[in-house]
Structure 1
Amino acid sequence: MAQTTLHVCLTCRREGVDPAAPRPGAMLQEALAQAGVPEGVRIVGVECLSACSNGCAVALSAPGKWTYVYGRLDPETHVAAILDGAARYARTADGVVPWRERPEVFRKQCLARIPPFPSDATQEAAE
């Protein structure tokens, strides 16, 4: 099964956060790493997910699977739910976790659902 990547926006910060304070996105990445990464998942920090008005933001992706972007996440309260959702995503063949099986923050705070990038074989068949 393909490795799942949990992208964490390191530059995210919410309104009202002191610009000199540590960025909540970086705090989220640290909290996720310290909590223990699920099997088949790797955490990768990224500079920006362009979800600035919805920070903190993460994205889940894997080759051949749907990609999801989630926002309005809190580094203090959502870590367990994010890791649970990432583990469930990693166990799917297509990236689609049944709606009722998703953690609540993944049901209510999804910003985008992006189709899988076609493989060369799929692309050739479509042409």
Structure 2
Amino acid sequence: MADTVLYVCTTCRMEGDAPDGPRAGARLLDALRALPAPDGVTIEAVECLSVCKRPCTVAVAAEDRWTYVYGDLDPAASARIILDGVGLYAGTPDGIVPWKQRPQEFRKGVVARIPPFPPRAA
């Protein structure tokens, strides 16, 4: 199983976040780190994924696999769901989890799907 990285935008801010309190993205990161990650998955904080209109946002990537960006995630309730979905991703050879097997939050929250880099030889 290839190493998979779950990137968590820590600067995501949701409506209602206290100006002097932790942002929603940082709260999501804390919730994710409080749970055991699937085998082969590393959780990394990033300062911005540039999806500010759809907080909270994460990206999942691995070498030779499609990269996905997901938004509209709940910082308190979605940590387990995200890790389950990333575990499914980590178990695929190409990063593509069949649509019906993806968590509902991943089906409705997908922002982008980015081809593997470098491109596979034809």
**Both structures adopt the same fold (TM-score exceeding 0.5):** yes
The 8 Å contact of residues 9 and 45 in structure 1, kept in 2 or not, is answered as: yes
Q: Structure 2: where are the runs of 5+ without partners?
A: none
Between Structure 1 and Structure 2, the one with more helix by share is 1
Matches within 5 A, 1:45-84: 45-84=45-84
Alignment of 1:29-108 (within 5 A): 29-108=29-108
What's the CA shift for 1:117? Answer: 0.6
Provide, for residues 102-127 of structure 1, a one-character-per-residue CA deviation record: whole Å limited to 9, x for no partner: 011001100000000116xx4xx57x
The root-mean-square deviation of aligned C-alpha atoms, in Å, is 1.2
Q: Which runs of 4+ in 1 moved over 4 A?
A: none
| Alpha-carbon distance in 1 for matches of 2:17, 2:24 | 9
- State the alpha-carbon separation in 1 of the partners of residues 27 and 16 from structure 2: 16
Identity percentage of aligned residues: 56
Name stretches of at least 5 consecutive residues in structure 1 with no aligned partner.
none
**2:19 corresponds to:** 19
TM-score, scaled relative to structure 1: 0.91
Secondary structure, counterpart of 1:6 in structure 2: strand
* 1:14 and 1:53 in contact (8 A); partners too: no
Separation (CA, whole Å) in 2 of partners of 1:76 and 1:16:
14
Aligned length: 122
- Cα offset for 1:16? 2.9
Q: 2:52 is matched by which residue type in structure 1?
A: C
Q: Distance in 1 between matches of 2:68 and 2:21?
A: 28
